[in-house]
Amino acid sequence: MSNKLRLTALGAALAFGLTACGGGGAGSGGGNDTANADPSDLTIGVSMPTQTSERWIADGNNVESQLEDAGYKVDLQYANDDIPTQQQQLDQMITEGADLLIVASIDGTALSSQLQAAADANIPVIAYDRLIRDTDNVDFYVTFDNFAVGQAQANALLVGLGLQNADGSKGSATGPFNIELFAGSLDDNNAFFFFNGAMDVLQPLIDDGTLVVPSGQTDIEQAATLRWQQETAQSRMETLLTGSYNDGTVLNGVLSPYDGISRGIITALQNAGYGPNLTSTPRALPVVTGQDAEIASVALIDQGVQSSTIFKDTRNLAEQAVTAAQAFLEGDEPEANDTESYDNGNKVVPAYLLPVQTVFKDDIQSVLVDSGYYTESEVQSGQAD
């Protein structure tokens, strides 16, 4: 809460002879005081996990600029994928009087004490893209349809292998194909939604023998990649190749949940003699999926190296976060389109889910360039301007 509002609240309490009472003191975010405030007197704390992945930089920039366009002040912080740093940044936002928090957590279970402090100060909290778990003190969740992301990744793998056509009909290939599975970071609730969504599509084909996982590693715990790190994925891929493919067994496909992980996997595969691309002979690069449409991976898709990615338009997610923030600050409830899927261990958090799009080489122009997400020259150079 801004100083000005704090004084106004205090003034009102004195004028009516009230004593400060529970929860009403330090700013009733979502209550009357912010509802009557000028947006320029309200500060929104935006806590993002890391700047090592492009998507979070884009998210931070989009949220900041859209909030500023709506007239609010913004305190945007990145936490270097370090949990204590994120906790500290949130503590500071709260002490400095933030009126609302938008949080993309590193570890979804590690913020309970910060969020208790936010609740004590009546500061509404919006979980951004990643669910915050094990707390009552999260008011709303804006995200993409994460189960659908996993299903789309698995379908893209099947299309890449020729088992399925892009329209979902049966493809000309019959298999069996050798695949390996990668998952995200186990402290990120999304990792489970992606993996479960993917297995929803893949498990029947593993069961009927169309797909074979030579390493036998089909549990999310075995497939996980702490903090979604590219290097960690590269080294797991190297270990899998040594352990299960040294006898000449050929790997055909890899389920990867995120473009950074995909690039680590591709590097390991190329170092082991696959590729350099999807049509190379004698040993083509396996079909590798992805997520986020990071520019480096979009360039690889354009070059026929990575097979696909899932595009999540972070401009739209930022817009949903801003709409929800505005609703709380004006004393309303934001509109949810899902009130069932996201149980955070304490309660089902009302959510707004956005749709996602699968991108193969042929979709780059229509989905990413025509929508203004990237320019053609960025796709060519593999770098965002």
Per CB under 6 A, residues contacting ligand BGC are: 53, 55, 129-130, 184, 188, 190, 228, 258, 291-292, 312
Q: How far is the CB of 148 from ligand BGC (least distance, A)?
A: 12
In this complex, which beta carbon is closest to ligand BGC, that of residue 195 or of residue 245? 195
Strand 309-311 vs strand 357-359: parallel, antiparallel, or unpaired? antiparallel
Q: How far is the CB of 260 from ligand BGC (least distance, A)?
A: 7
In this complex, which beta carbon is closest to ligand BGC, that of residue 94 or of residue 263? 263
Return d(Cα 358, Cα 373) in angstroms, integer: 15
Return d(Cα 266, Cα 273) in angstroms, integer: 11
Residue 297 CB neighbour total at 10 angstroms: 27
Q: How far is the CB of 294 from ligand BGC (least distance, A)?
A: 8
In this complex, which beta carbon is closest to ligand BGC, that of residue 1 or of residue 127? 127
Q: How far is the CB of 159 from ligand BGC (least distance, A)?
A: 20
Residues 256, 230 contacting (CB under 8 angstroms): no
Q: How far is the CB of 323 from ligand BGC (least distance, A)?
A: 19
Return d(Cα 122, Cα 35) in angstroms, integer: 13
- For ligand BGC, the nearest residue by Cβ is 258
The β-bridge partners of 338 are 351
184 secondary structure, DSSP code: -
In this complex, which beta carbon is closest to ligand BGC, that of residue 155 or of residue 178? 155
Residue among 350, 358, 267, 268 at smallest CA distance from 307? 358
Name the residue type at position 118: A
Name the residue type at position 267: T
Residue among 326, 318, 368 at smallest CA distance from 59? 318
Q: How far is the CB of 254 from ligand BGC (least distance, A)?
A: 16
In this complex, which beta carbon is closest to ligand BGC, that of residue 55 or of residue 133? 55
In this complex, which beta carbon is closest to ligand BGC, that of residue 228 or of residue 342? 228
In this complex, which beta carbon is closest to ligand BGC, that of residue 177 or of residue 193? 193
18 secondary structure, DSSP code: P
Q: How far is the CB of 50 from ligand BGC (least distance, A)?
A: 7
Q: Is the dihedral of CA 294, 296, 302, 306 positive or negative?
A: negative
In this complex, which beta carbon is closest to ligand BGC, that of residue 56 or of residue 274? 56
Q: How far is the CB of 325 from ligand BGC (least distance, A)?
A: 19
Residue tagged 């690069």 (tokens): 285
What's the Cα-to-Cα distance from 119 to each of 42, 261, 351, rounded to whole Å?
A: 17, 36, 19
**Residue 158 DSSP SS3:** helix
Sheet holding 351-354, edge to edge: 73-78, 43-48, 100-103, 125-128, 140-144, 351-354
